[in-house]
Structure 1
Amino acid sequence: MSGDRPWPQVPVGNKDYTEANVVIVGGGISGMCTAIDLIARNNCRNFIILEKSGGVGGTWRDNKYPGCCCDVWSHLYSYSFEQNSDWTREYPGQEEILEYLMRVAQKYELYRYVRFNTAVDSARWDDASKKWKTTVSVQGGKDAEFTNTYTISSDFLVSAVGQLNVPRLPDIDGLGEFKGKLMHSARWDWSYSLRGKKVAIIGNGATAAQIIPEIVKEVDHLTIHQRTPNWVIPRLDAAIAPWKRSLYKWVPYVRQRKRADMMDFREAFYDAVFDKTSPTSQFIEAMSKEHLQAQLKDRPELQEKLQPTYAVGCKRVIITDDYFPVFLRDNVKLETGKIDRITANGIVTDGKEEEYDLIILATGFRTVEFMHPIEITGKAGRTLSSIWKEGGQALYGVAVESLPNFGMLYGPNTNLGHNSIILMIEAQSRYINAMIKEVIAAKSSGDDLVITPKPSRVKEFNDEIQSELEKSNFADPGCNSWYKMKESGKITNNWSRNVVAYQKLLSQVDWSDFDLDGPQAKKLSNSQVTHLGRVVEESTVSYQTMGLTALSLAAVGAGLVFRNSARLRLR
């Protein structure tokens, strides 16, 4: 290693190209957050970020389809430690989010740690060396001329690949036979002109609801294939005026208060997805029906086809103002029949074939197959596919049975149906970095420390949240969603409580949850708990309290002025 700094402060260089303290798989929001915490909390720079694509940003680099945007408010969809005062809209678009993430990567000097165009093929825990062996394929043309595959040895492995990274192709006969243009929404080809084309889009979820209003302006004809309708509520997006952006920049308290208000509002939506009889659920249901009827007035046949019958929250609620009006256009057709097959020329629905120039697959991702297609092998040669044969599960969504010195972000049962996922990711990064800290400390002393969650604790935790999820709207048998396994119906993706509950759960590491092996194990076992704290972003003081405080201060101030004036008059 070069330089005179002690390990692990020295970044990985040429001579130790295949060795690192930590390997992070993924350069999106989760991977970047973990890397920033590694530097800030552990003073560790001996790590590598492996990124399959050619840039940072994760899902916000992959998804660049027309109309791509976030359904969480911009001021809530950012790191708490790197809030952005310059958002131009209340809801951020893909390009603006990507620009924000690139600025963060630049500010924290993360590019030096990233190996782009590098896909992870497998990761195997070596019981003898107590290290992870991560094998990668180099996909960049010129870089592959140096070596097209190699293996990295690391003390700790972090999965930051998330849930929305591998496109899911629909199981429809003949999909590969189509001779026209076929593209998945997450692999959008901007070189292909839509002008004058006859187009079909398969899928009508959140992604499709963003694409459709944009492309309908250009295409000659669009057929929307709908399997089940969605609950849709108004978006009410708006530009953020320059004076407001200046206020958020120069008066940080105002920006922070706005973020807290947004978090409070979103947390309140938790009831809507967990109790269909709750006032919040009934409010959203009424709002959605009113929205549908107002935008498709005098079109009862369309209203009937677009009105869901399952519980609010079973599938992700769509937030949009311009989706329903699309169905009033002459060049749009809503198709609710079952797709029989795809042919060389088009789509056969209920026995009738329709020809198309382009078929768009807005069919989501392989969400329940966490870390697919990476082959993971843990202790004693146990594979992740065997560990998760009945569906993904992890302790707190972070630590996986039989995978030592391993942590994952946005893992099983950590997705949200009501709030910003970044609020969850920051808690996970802090928790994982606490584990990494102990491994680093042991290595610095010349020892090894192996941290593995106890299978009994993983099961206990999973049983607990599954019992809660079974009572939620996610479990409604009236709909299929990417939150759950198709065969068993087990909900593998979503969290069963609100964000604050999760943050509190991960605000400390209880070492009794883990099997610890190594000279440092006894010390950790004796300490029992490492307190981490959490970022408190929800409102802690109500507007009523602030108002009463302001009035009290004003009254005190007025009293002082009056008393001083009286003294002056008496002189």
Structure 2
Amino acid sequence: MGENRVQLQVPVGNRDYTNAAVVIIGAGISGLCVAIDLLKKDYRNFVILEQGGGIGGTWRDNKYPGCCCDVWSHLYSYSFEPNPSWTREYSGQEEILQYLTGVAQKYELYRYVRFNTCVDSARWDDTTNKWKTTVSVLGGKDAEFGGGTYTITSDFVVSGVGQLNLPKFPDIAGINEFDGRLMHSARWDWSYNLQGKKVAIIGNGATAVQIVPEIAGKVDCLTVYQRTPNWVLPREDSPIPSWKRQIYQYVPYIQKRKRAKMMHFRESLFGSLVDPTSPGSEIMEGLCRQHLHTQLQNRPDLRDKLQPKYSLGCKRVLLTDDYYPVFLRDNVRLETGHIDRITTKGVVADGQEEAFDLIIMATGFRSVEFLHPIDVTGSAGRTLSSVWKDGGHALYGVTVEGIPNFGMLYGPNTNLAHNSLILMIEAQSKYIVALADKVLTARSLDGSLKISPKPLRVEEFNEQLQSSLSKTSFADPNCNSWFKLGESGKITNNWSDTVVAYQKVLSRVDWSDYDVAGTGADELKSSKITTVGRVVEESVVSDATIGLIVLSAVTVLAGILYRNTGRLSLL
């Protein structure tokens, strides 16, 4: 046992390059979080497989003009790694990437990452209770080692690829015939000179509302092709002055308190954004309409085109202060006609062709195709694609029936409309590492353990989940969104409750949810529960209460000092 335990504490080296205790797919926020949680348990025998050339995931891929987060910086960061140096309330892509790079450097994660490594397949071996993950090495020199393809044997596999990793191109006739430049927002080419160009942008979601204001002043003319308008709220971004940053650095409690209030506020918005019958939803719609009217007071024609006709929350509510005013510019036009096709010269909408130099696809990601195009095969040769033939689903969004010793972060039904995803990711990471810990403990005992969620429990959980989701704004039939699966309308991406509710669900592993077999299985079945715990960040004490506590402490301290001063004077 001692030798095997020591091996789990040693990073993978040259001699065991194709063997690891844990394989993590993706070096984004999720993958880094799992790696750190493994290190906290003194496990170092893992590898992180990253298809790109650097860490950061979606924050490395998306570097288009104006790219930034729509969650406050202090909330969109790991709870265990607060950053007192955020320069804005809503940070831009480069600053977020710098933060993630700093975290990776602090925890020395680069030694575990294999960059330019594409995962082709992951296959479970029922005989050995091991995963065989086959990868292709991208790039020149590295591909010369081992022919560019090799297979890693591991005890556990974790997917950190998330929902927003594969760019989605719209199904428009002639999309490959355009002679000009066609660019997806998630594959932005900064070497392309926008100056003086005629540009079309297809899409008007969260990405487009950031790009459009940034490039409108640079291009000769810009046409925005809108399919469905969005509900929009003011962003009210602002710089964080240096004196505040110094306070956060030297008095960490103040920053922690700010994060707690942010989380509490965001949680309080859940009903307004998800429940179409709530009074808060009506108030929120009113704020959106007011924002639209205020910014386009004298343009009822534009307001009519930009006003949604569906429930607030059905699609992602956007935050921006400068999108609407762009349409008051002479060189910007809003096009709401149906796109018929793309030609060699440009775009045809409602029979009218317009020529362009550049077409930007701000059309999002293949969000409902979780783990695509990785070929995952579980126990008894059952493929993940067959399990998900009717759409992605999982137990708590983390584990999948028939796919043993496997966990995923930001999986089916774990997306949010109201709060920071990192709050979800941290809970998922702790839960998955708790599962992996049992598997690795069995390995340290010269055995093996197989863990897989019970199909009946998965079915039960997802039936309850879909029942709850059917009553939310996400289910509004009057709009399509990346939360749903095609014609069926099944909501495959979003969670149905608050972050705190989700964290509580994942704060313990209930072994009655799982089929477990192998070394230590009987012990798990008898113990029934493994406590994982959760980070309690929400604001549970009001500012007034804290103020009274501080005032009372100061009063008591002053009384003590006064008494001591009196005694000294008598002496």
TM-score bracket, shorter-length normalisation: over 0.9
Structure 2 equivalent of residue 104 of structure 1: 103
Deviation digits for residues 92-147 of structure 1, max 9, x if unmatched?
A: 10000000000100110000010000000111111111111111111121100113
Structure 1 equivalent of residue 535 of structure 2: 535
Q: Is the 8 A contact 2:4 2:444 kept in 1?
A: no
Structure 1 equivalent of residue 487 of structure 2: 487
Percent identity between the aligned chains? 67
Deviation digits for residues 517-562 of structure 1, max 9, x if unmatched?
A: 1031101101100011100111121112123333444555566677
Structure 2 equivalent of residue 75 of structure 1: 74
Structure 2 equivalent of residue 332 of structure 1: 332
TM-score normalised by structure 2 residue count = 0.97
Structure 1 equivalent of residue 438 of structure 2: 438
Aligned residues between the structures: 568
Amino acid corresponding to residue 142 of structure 1 in structure 2 = K
Structure 2 equivalent of residue 468 of structure 1: 468
Q: Provide the secondary structure at the position in 2 that maps to 1:33.
A: helix
Amino acid corresponding to residue 498 of structure 1 in structure 2 = T
Structure 2 equivalent of residue 226 of structure 1: 226
Q: Provide the secondary structure at the position in 1 that maps to 2:452.
A: strand
Q: Provide the secondary structure at the position in 2 that maps to 1:235.
A: coil
* 2-structure distance, mates of 1:50, 1:568: 68
Task: After TM superposition, give the deviation of residue 279 of structure 1 in Å.
Answer: 2.8
Deviation digits for residues 395-429 of structure 1, max 9, x if unmatched?
A: 01000010000000000000000000000000000
Amino acid corresponding to residue 63 of structure 1 in structure 2 = N
Task: After TM superposition, give the deviation of residue 333 of structure 1 in Å.
Answer: 0.5
Q: Does 1:502 align with 2:515?
A: no
CA RMSD of aligned residues (A): 1.7
Amino acid corresponding to residue 399 of structure 2 in structure 1 = A
Amino acid corresponding to residue 324 of structure 1 in structure 2 = Y
* 2-structure distance, mates of 1:337, 1:531: 55
Question: Against the structure 1 CA distance between its residues 525 and 564, is the aligned structure 2 distance closer, same or farther, given a 3 Å change threshold?
Answer: same
Amino acid corresponding to residue 443 of structure 1 in structure 2 = R
Structure 1 equivalent of residue 50 of structure 2: 51
* 2-structure distance, mates of 1:112, 1:310: 49
Q: Is the 8 A contact 2:183 2:189 kept in 1?
A: yes
Q: Is the 8 A contact 1:273 1:474 kept in 2?
A: no
Question: Against the structure 1 CA distance between its residues 130 and 169, is the aligned structure 2 distance closer, same or farther, given a 3 Å change threshold?
Answer: same
* 1-structure distance, mates of 2:439, 2:384: 22
Deviation digits for residues 65-96 of structure 1, max 9, x if unmatched?
A: 00000000000011001010000000010000
Structure 2 equivalent of residue 213 of structure 1: 213
Deviation digits for residues 127-171 of structure 1, max 9, x if unmatched?
A: 111111111111121100113111111100000000000000000
Question: Is there any run of 5+ residues in structure 1 with no aligned partner, and where?
Answer: none
* 2-structure distance, mates of 1:92, 1:181: 29
* 1-structure distance, mates of 2:186, 2:349: 25
* 2-structure distance, mates of 1:227, 1:283: 25
Question: Against the structure 1 CA distance between its residues 562 and 446, is the aligned structure 2 distance closer, same or farther, given a 3 Å change threshold?
Answer: closer
Question: Against the structure 1 CA distance between its residues 190 and 90, is the aligned structure 2 distance closer, same or farther, given a 3 Å change threshold?
Answer: same
Task: After TM superposition, give the deviation of residue 565 of structure 1 in Å.
Answer: 8.7
* 2-structure distance, mates of 1:123, 1:4: 24
Task: After TM superposition, give the deviation of residue 478 of structure 1 in Å.
Answer: 1.2
Deviation digits for residues 40-69 of structure 1, max 9, x if unmatched?
A: 02x111111000000000000000000000
Question: Against the structure 1 CA distance between its residues 449 and 354, is the aligned structure 2 distance closer, same or farther, given a 3 Å change threshold?
Answer: same
Deviation digits for residues 372-398 of structure 1, max 9, x if unmatched?
A: 110111111111111001110000100
Question: Against the structure 1 CA distance between its residues 560 and 45, is the aligned structure 2 distance closer, same or farther, given a 3 Å change threshold?
Answer: closer
Structure 2 equivalent of residue 194 of structure 1: 194
Q: Is the 8 A contact 1:201 1:361 kept in 2?
A: yes
* 2-structure distance, mates of 1:290, 1:63: 31
Deviation digits for residues 220-256 of structure 1, max 9, x if unmatched?
A: 0000000010011111111110110000000000000
Deviation digits for residues 256-306 of structure 1, max 9, x if unmatched?
A: 000001101111110112212323212221111111111111100000100
Structure 2 equivalent of residue 127 of structure 1: 126
Amino acid corresponding to residue 201 of structure 1 in structure 2 = I
Q: Provide the secondary structure at the position in 2 that maps to 1:398.
A: coil
Amino acid corresponding to residue 143 of structure 1 in structure 2 = D
Structure 1 equivalent of residue 140 of structure 2: 141
Worse-superposed segment, 89-98 or 306-315: 306-315
* 2-structure distance, mates of 1:123, 1:551: 59
Amino acid corresponding to residue 275 of structure 1 in structure 2 = D
* 1-structure distance, mates of 2:210, 2:399: 35
Q: Provide the secondary structure at the position in 2 that maps to 1:392.
A: coil
* 1-structure distance, mates of 2:452, 2:382: 13
Task: After TM superposition, give the deviation of residue 438 of structure 1 in Å.
Answer: 0.5
Amino acid corresponding to residue 518 of structure 2 in structure 1 = G
For residues 321-470 of structure 1, the aligned pairs below 5 Å read 321-470=321-470
Amino acid corresponding to residue 536 of structure 1 in structure 2 = V
Q: Is the 8 A contact 1:313 1:474 kept in 2?
A: yes
Worse-superposed segment, 186-195 or 541-550: 541-550
Amino acid corresponding to residue 325 of structure 2 in structure 1 = P
Amino acid corresponding to residue 270 of structure 2 in structure 1 = Y
Structure 1 equivalent of residue 293 of structure 2: 293
For residues 233-248 of structure 1, the aligned pairs below 5 Å read 233-248=233-248
Q: Is the 8 A contact 1:166 1:366 kept in 2?
A: yes
Worse-superposed segment, 485-494 or 282-291: 282-291
Amino acid corresponding to residue 339 of structure 1 in structure 2 = I
For residues 15-54 of structure 1, the aligned pairs below 5 Å read 15-41=15-41, 43-54=42-53
Q: Is the 8 A contact 2:4 2:443 kept in 1?
A: no
Structure 2 equivalent of residue 86 of structure 1: 85
Q: Is the 8 A contact 2:4 2:446 kept in 1?
A: no
Question: Against the structure 1 CA distance between its residues 556 and 5, is the aligned structure 2 distance closer, same or farther, given a 3 Å change threshold?
Answer: closer
Task: After TM superposition, give the deviation of residue 486 of structure 1 in Å.
Answer: 1.4
Task: After TM superposition, give the deviation of residue 568 of structure 1 in Å.
Answer: 9.9
Amino acid corresponding to residue 118 of structure 1 in structure 2 = T
Question: Is there any run of 5+ residues in structure 2 with no aligned partner, and where?
Answer: none
* 2-structure distance, mates of 1:107, 1:189: 30
Q: Is the 8 A contact 1:74 1:90 kept in 2?
A: yes
